[in-house]
């Protein structure tokens, strides 16, 4: 029996097959490659799904790199077509969203550092500017946070409707703005300051105050409110 044959689902005892193991023991009892095999469902001729899944895990080397992989990077793996690559990326993204939601529940922001630590891991690694809105309830606890625009502030067409839509939808009492500078320098630009002023005025009209605007750099940040650059 060759190596590929040993990975065939029909050659594995029923109790040890990924789907059956997931149903009987839950995802906690399964390896990353087994979970990927469940997501993919099948491999291809000469490349069973379990073998393909193990090669995916081996290719990226760590769970962190796997979660960061693009559809194009998945497609570079022999046997993983575009449809399955998209399927895998969608499943990973859904899991990351659920994980993010669980982390932000009851996270209370009492100062700029709290807001910075909430979003720094997401924003510091981005190679283009991402504009994020953090939603807070009446007690200052985080409801959720959303990326509402991608690109430089002068080009991404930041508009109050995009910024305040998540706040209205989730009935947020107030919001915090944040965006990254890929250069690593968190010094606010003229566009940053002008945009902040415009959004503060829009927030007053809507009854949703803006508590701060953070500029995220490499391992550091600037709080526009703390620096007294703009009156909130």
Q: Parallel, antiparallel, or unpaired: how do β-strands 142-150 and 130-136 relate? A: antiparallel
Q: Is 28 part of any domain? A: yes
| CATH number assigned to the domain comprising residue 163 | 3.40.140.10
Q: Is 17 part of any domain? A: yes
* Dist CA 137 CA 145 (whole Å): 12
| CATH number assigned to the domain comprising residue 75 | 1.10.150.20
- Residue 129 main-chain phi, psi, to 5 deg: -75, 130
Q: Residue 7's pLDDT band (boundaries 50, 70, 90)?
A: very low
Mean pLDDT of 54-72: 90
Q: Is 20 part of any domain? A: yes
114 and 93 part of one domain: no
Q: Which helix (H) or strand (E) holds 86?
A: helix 82-104
Q: Residue 104's pLDDT band (boundaries 50, 70, 90)?
A: low
Whole domain around residue 29: which residue ranges? 3-103
pTM of full prediction above 0.85: no
217 and 127 part of one domain: yes
Average pLDDT, the chain: 87
At 19 the pLDDT is 81
Q: Residue 100's pLDDT band (boundaries 50, 70, 90)?
A: low
Above pLDDT 70, what percent of the chain? 88
pLDDT tens digits along 141-174: 999 999 999 986 555 558 899 999 999 999 999 9
Tokens of 151: 């690109």
Question: Among 32-36, 41-45, 88-92, 186-190, which is the least confidently predicted range?
Answer: 41-45
216 and 111 part of one domain: yes
- Residue 93's CB is within 10 A of a number of other CB atoms, namely 11
* Dist CA 224 CA 232 (whole Å): 9
Tokens of 154: 């002068």
Q: Residue 8's pLDDT band (boundaries 50, 70, 90)?
A: low
200 and 120 part of one domain: yes
Q: Is 194 part of any domain? A: yes
Q: Is 229 part of any domain? A: no
Mean pLDDT of 4-22: 64
155 and 214 part of one domain: yes
163 and 88 part of one domain: no
pLDDT tens digits along 195-219: 999 999 999 999 999 999 999 999 9
40 and 126 part of one domain: no
Which among 56, 59, 62 is positioned nearest to 38, based on CA atoms?
A: 56
Q: How many domains does the chain have?
A: 2
Give the SS3 label for residue 220.
coil
């Amino acid at each position: 029996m060759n190596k590929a044959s040993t990975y065939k689902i029909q050659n594995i005892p029923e109790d040890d097959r990924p789907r059956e193991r997931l149903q009987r023991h839950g995802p906690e009892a399964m390896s990353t490659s087994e979970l990927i095999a469940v997501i993919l469902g099948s491999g291809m001729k000469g490349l069973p799904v379990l073998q393909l899944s193990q090669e995916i895990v081996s290719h990226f080397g760590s769970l962190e790199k796997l979660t960061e992989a693009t559809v194009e990077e998945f497609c570079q793996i022999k046997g993983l077509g575009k449809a399955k690559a998209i399927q895998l990326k969608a499943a990973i993204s859904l899991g990351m969203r659920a994980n993010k939601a669980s982390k932000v529940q009851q996270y209370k922001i009492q100062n700029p550092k709290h807001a910075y630590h909430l979003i720094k891991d997401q924003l510091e690694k981005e190679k283009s500017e991402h504009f994020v809105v953090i939603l807070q309830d009446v007690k200052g606890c985080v409801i959720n946070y959303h990326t509402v625009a991608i690109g430089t502030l002068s080009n991404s067409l930041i508009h109050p409707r995009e910024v305040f839509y998540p706040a209205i939808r989730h009935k947020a009492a107030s919001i915090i703005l944040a965006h990254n500078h890929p250069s690593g320098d968190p010094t606010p630009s003229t566009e940053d300051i002008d945009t902040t002023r415009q959004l503060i005025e829009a927030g007053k009209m809507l009854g949703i105050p803006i508590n701060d605007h953070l500029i995220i750099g490499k391992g550091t940040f600037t709080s526009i409110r703390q620096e007294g650059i703009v009156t909130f």
